[in-house]
């Protein structure tokens, strides 16, 4: 049982390390009612998933505001944003998404993020 558990943990670590290596960039810290620009780097043909882990108030309704030119982007489960480059594409791409919600004080807000993507072979 210990061997199986150890192997499962090792496989999980390898899987997560590979996912992190395919899509990397700084944390995204959106500002209420402003557009923030961030950069990510990823391997061509792989999926870059942006997950939301913290917010000062309740946020919902992620929407794609500007679609990428060289790939596809969609809102995934738990309102994550998933970008996939076109097969074989290498270069720069960009897309913008927004989330709506409320500040900690209950004021309506929109947080917009422009993601500049570097797709590598």
What percent of the chain shows pLDDT beyond 90? 41
Q: Does the pLDDT of residue 30 top 90, yes or no?
A: no
What is the spatial order of strands in the sheet that 47-50 belongs to? 47-50, 81-85, 71-75
| Best CA proximity match to 121, nearest among 22, 20, 43, 23 | 43
CA 37 to CA 113: how far, in whole Å?
A: 6
Please give the residue range of the domain that contains residue 51: 2-120
pLDDT tens per residue, range 71-108:
999 998 777 899 999 999 999 999 999 988 888 888 89
3-class secondary-structure state, position 38: strand
The count of structural domains within the chain is: 1
Average pLDDT, the chain: 79
Count of helices and strands (H, E) across the chain? 1, 8
CATH of the domain at 89: 2.60.40
Give pTM, 2 decimals: 0.74
pLDDT value of position 55: 67
């Amino acid at each position: 049982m210990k061997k199986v558990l150890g192997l499962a943990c090792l496989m999980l670590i390898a899987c997560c390390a590979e996912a992190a290596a395919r899509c990397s960039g700084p944390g995204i810290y959106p500002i209420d009612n402003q557009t923030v620009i961030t950069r990510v780097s990823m391997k061509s043909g792989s999926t870059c998933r942006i997950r939301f882990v913290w917010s000062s108030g309740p946020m919902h309704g992620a929407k794609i505001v500007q679609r990428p030119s060289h790939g596809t982007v969609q809102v995934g489960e738990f309102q994550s944003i998933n970008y996939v480059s076109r097969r074989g594409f290498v270069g720069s791409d960009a897309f913008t998404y927004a989330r709506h919600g409320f500040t900690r004080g209950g004021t309506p807000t929109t947080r917009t993020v422009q993601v500049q993507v570097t797709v590598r072979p």
